[in-house]
């Protein structure tokens, strides 16, 4: 443990002299004094017993028993109890990201199975072992398309999730890529590296996507593929939060990326492959390395070096436990309850603005704040306020007929 001993004053002085400063404080001169924390205002130390009581008291301030109609990228879905029990086993539940395939066969097999499931759901040839989230996946798909087409202009739909748009803008600005936002896909797309669309989009609308003269990137909620046919495209991305991942006050989640075979070597992140070892036994390994840790930096596809392996495991467990029949049933119930809510709201004179939706839609009201406040008083989170007159509402299989009745009667 000698490497972890605190430096004494003599060592600190020697280190400072080596880099030409007088003290450690000199390292922080560029930070304005007013921006620095002068002291830590900490309470008196507590015993373990006192700390447990204090934390429980704080936790009780979180009200978690609302009926939630929130969506916009995070959805309250049914999660079989066995998933957390398996995922929390010590073999999986680690902060360490597995680099060496020879010491993490179980994790690599999970990655491989997850990739296979994503390929089956998306009808694509190859998928990676997750990235951070859907926003990152969208941005990485754009960089991927630019590398393939060697054109630094892209088209992206205005109806993307606003959070995804912000991440895209950050990525593309840093890489000198021009992004043009559209409401309708232009007739001529050949001068762009890709067209990026989301379906169902941020407002829940299922889009009828026409063919384009360049790469087509589609972002989707993977759980909608339980019912909806995957859009034929070159690259498909999205979030896997709806596959057995709790909402958890906004995260963490994970994203997926899938593509056609011919773009395999441009796919960022990790890819797990199946092979045989020297004895002829099945073995799993990281393959087709496109990460800068393994190949020359100028040839690396991305500096995204990690993944959400534990969340990918949860998604693979969810799909395994639910099975094809259960997965479809959950999707069917989500859509059924959303359409039932929309119909009852329409009967009450509240307009649904969507023409074609899966389980999320926009309603038009006189005063969004008043509507949401009335619903909250009845223990309902009514949706996401878009503006003074519009609310984005989502329903999942967790919503009962009684919940819908209370929602409608509360307006």
User: What was the pLDDT predicted at 345?
Assistant: 97
Residue 257 near residue 218 (C-beta atoms within 8 A): no
pLDDT greater than 80 at residue 341? yes
Which residues lie below 8 Å from residue 314, measured CB to CB, with a gap of 6+?
83, 84, 87, 243, 244, 245
**How does DSSP assign 147-176, residue by residue?**
HHH---EEEEETTS-HHHHHHHHHHHHHTT
Determine the pLDDT at residue 2.
Answer: 57
Q: Which two tokens stand for residue 377?
A: 């008083």
Could you tell me the fold of the domain covering 82-316? 3.40.640
Q: Does domain 67-79+324-409 have CATH number 3.90.1150.10?
A: yes
The model carries a pTM of 0.86
Using the predicted structure, report yes or no on whether residue 7 has a pLDDT greater than 80: yes
Q: Which parts of 74-147 are beta strand (E)?
A: 126-127
Residue 168 near residue 179 (C-beta atoms within 8 A): yes
- Which pLDDT band, with edges at 50, 70 and 90, does 21 fall under? very high
Residues 214-245 have pLDDT tens digits of: 999 999 999 999 999 999 999 999 999 999 99
**Any idea where the domains of the chain sit in the sequence?**
67-79+324-409, 82-316
All residues at 6 or more sequence positions from 90 whose CB lies less than 8 Å from its CB, including other chains: none
pLDDT (tens digit, 9 = 90+) per residue, 363-383? 999 999 999 999 999 999 999
Q: Which helix (H) or strand (E) holds 276?
A: strand 272-276
- What is the SS3 assignment for 165? helix
Q: Determine the pLDDT at residue 1.
A: 46
Which class for 305: exposed (0-12), middle (13-18), buried (19 or more C-beta within 10 A)?
middle
Query: How would residue 306 be classed by pLDDT, with cut points 50, 70 and 90?
Result: low
Q: Are 368 and 411 in contact (CB under 8 A)?
A: no
């Amino acid at each position: 443990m000698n490497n972890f001993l605190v430096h004494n004053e003599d060592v600190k002085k020697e280190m400072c002299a080596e880099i030409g400063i007088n003290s450690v404080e000199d390292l922080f001169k560029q930070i304005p004094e007013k921006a620095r924390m002068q002291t830590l205002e900490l309470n008196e130390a507590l015993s373990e017993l006192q700390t447990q009581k204090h934390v429980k008291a704080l936790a009780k301030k979180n009200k978690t028993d609302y009926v939630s109609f929130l969506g916009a990228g995070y959805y309250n879905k049914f999660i079989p109890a066995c998933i957390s029990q398996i995922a929390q086993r010590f073999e999986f539940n680690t902060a360490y990201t597995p680099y060496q395939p020879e010491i993490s066969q179980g994790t690599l097999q999970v990655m491989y199975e997850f990739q296979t499931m994503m390929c089956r759901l998306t009808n694509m040839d190859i998928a990676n072992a997750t990235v951070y989230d859907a926003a990152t996946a969208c941005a990485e798909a754009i960089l991927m398309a630019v590398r393939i087409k060697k054109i630094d202009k892209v088209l992206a739909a205005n109806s993307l999730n606003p959070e995804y748009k912000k991440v895209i803008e950050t990525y593309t600005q840093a890489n000198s890529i021009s992004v043009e936002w559209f409401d309708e896909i232009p007739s001529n797309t050949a001068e762009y590296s890709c067209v990026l669309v989301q379906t169902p989009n941020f407002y829940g609308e299922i889009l009828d996507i026409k063919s384009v003269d360049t790469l087509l990137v589609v972002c989707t909620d993977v759980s909608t593929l339980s019912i909806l046919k995957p859009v034929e495209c070159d690259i498909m991305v999205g979030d896997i939060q709806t596959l057995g991942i709790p909402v958890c006050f906004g995260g963490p989640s994970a994203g997926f990326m899938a593509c056609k075979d011919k773009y395999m070597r441009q796919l960022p992140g990790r890819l797990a492959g199946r092979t045989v070892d020297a004895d002829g036994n099945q073995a799993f390994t990281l393959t087709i390395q496109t990460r800068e840790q393994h190949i020359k930096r100028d040839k690396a596809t991305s500096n995204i070096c990690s993944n959400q392996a534990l969340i990918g495991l949860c998604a693979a467990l969810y799909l395994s436990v639910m099975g094809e029949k259960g997965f479809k049933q959950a999707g069917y119930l989500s859509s059924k309850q959303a359409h039932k809510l929309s119909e009852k709201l329409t009967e009450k004179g509240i307009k649904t603005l969507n023409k074609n939706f899966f389980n999320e839609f926009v309603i038009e009201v006189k005063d969004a704040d008043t509507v949401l406040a009335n619903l909250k008083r009845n223990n309902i989170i009514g949706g996401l306020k878009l503006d003074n007159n519009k609310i984005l509402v989502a329903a999942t299989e967790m919503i009962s007929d009684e919940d819908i009745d209370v929602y409608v009667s509360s307006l």
